[in-house]
């Protein structure tokens, strides 16, 4: 095998690996196939585990995307919004970092726990198929989280010309992930709508005291 073919082979394998990871971020859920969540009389969507809920945009429809509940504009299913909660043991909230080390770090990702999680996303979107646009800390109802935005490059055959926006929150018992995937050209059109949806997220748990600073 020539060096050129070998290089292409490894590049293909690398692209395949990152696509698998992104698929896991976007579409993995531990619930059964089919529509798993529920929409109450007021139109608010509750996830399958009844851990989190949000207000879908007006006029968006709920449908089954390979076993994942997604919302899309009625006339544009290339725009997909999902909210998934998964159980976790919460053990990662503990940290060996000293209080002095944590207090001395004034960055948005001062928490050792969030630094670790941010690094995982950086690694996922560091392949040639993706360009990491932004990664910052986010908080909801006292829980620490991250907001990530990445762009699929021209080399990406699966998510060509797409924007992926992920908002993920961490509790001692669950990880909650809202994911938006849409054509890059549509991002500006739906930016304010998605911001409003994110603000409407509610967790059916009691806030964890000072968890974001551990």
* pLDDT at 188 > cutoff 90: no
Region 79-106: mean pLDDT is: 62
- Residue 79's pLDDT is what? 95
> What is the span of the domain harbouring residue 146?
3-213
- Tell me how many domains the chain contains: 1
Q: Which span out of 12-21, 53-62, 90-99, 123-132 was modeled with the highest average pLDDT?
A: 53-62
Q: What confidence tier does 119 reach under pLDDT thresholds 50, 70, 90?
A: very high
Calpha distance 154→83 (Å, rounded): 28
Q: What confidence tier does 205 reach under pLDDT thresholds 50, 70, 90?
A: low
- Residue 174's pLDDT is what? 92
Region 81-97: mean pLDDT is: 72
- Residue 154's pLDDT is what? 85
Q: Report the alpha-carbon angle 138-139-145, nearest 5.
A: 60
- At 39-68, the pLDDT tens digits run 987 899 999 999 999 999 999 999 999 999
* pLDDT at 30 > cutoff 70: no
What CATH number did the domain enclosing 170 receive? Answer: 3.40.1000.10
Pairing verdict, β 68-73 and 45-46? unpaired
Calpha distance 30→46 (Å, rounded): 15
């Amino acid at each position: 095998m020539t060096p050129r073919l070998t290089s292409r082979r490894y590049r293909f394998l690398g692209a395949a690996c990152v696509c698998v990871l992104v698929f896991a971020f976007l579409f993995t859920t531990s619930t059964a196939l089919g529509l798993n969540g529920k929409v109450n009389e007021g139109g608010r969507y509750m996830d399958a585990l009844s851990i989190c809920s949000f207000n879908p945009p007006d006029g968006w429809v709920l449908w089954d995307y390979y076993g994942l509940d997604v919302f899309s504009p009625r006339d544009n299913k290339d725009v997909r919004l999902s909210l998934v909660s998964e159980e976790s043991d919460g053990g990662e909230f503990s940290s060996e970092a000293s209080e002095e080390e944590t207090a001395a770090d004034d960055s948005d990702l001062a928490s050792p726990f969030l630094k670790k999680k941010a690094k995982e996303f950086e690694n996922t979107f560091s392949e040639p198929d993706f360009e990491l646009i932004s990664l910052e800390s986010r908080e909801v109802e006292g829980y620490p989280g991250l907001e990530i935005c990445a762009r699929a490059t021209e080399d990406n055959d699966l998510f060509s010309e797409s924007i992926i926006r992920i908002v993920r929150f961490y509790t001692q018992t669950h990880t909650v992930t809202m994911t938006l995937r849409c054509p890059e050209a549509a991002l500006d059109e739906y930016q304010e709508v998605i911001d409003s949806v994110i603000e409407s997220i509610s967790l059916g748990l009691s806030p964890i005291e000072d968890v974001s600073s551990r």
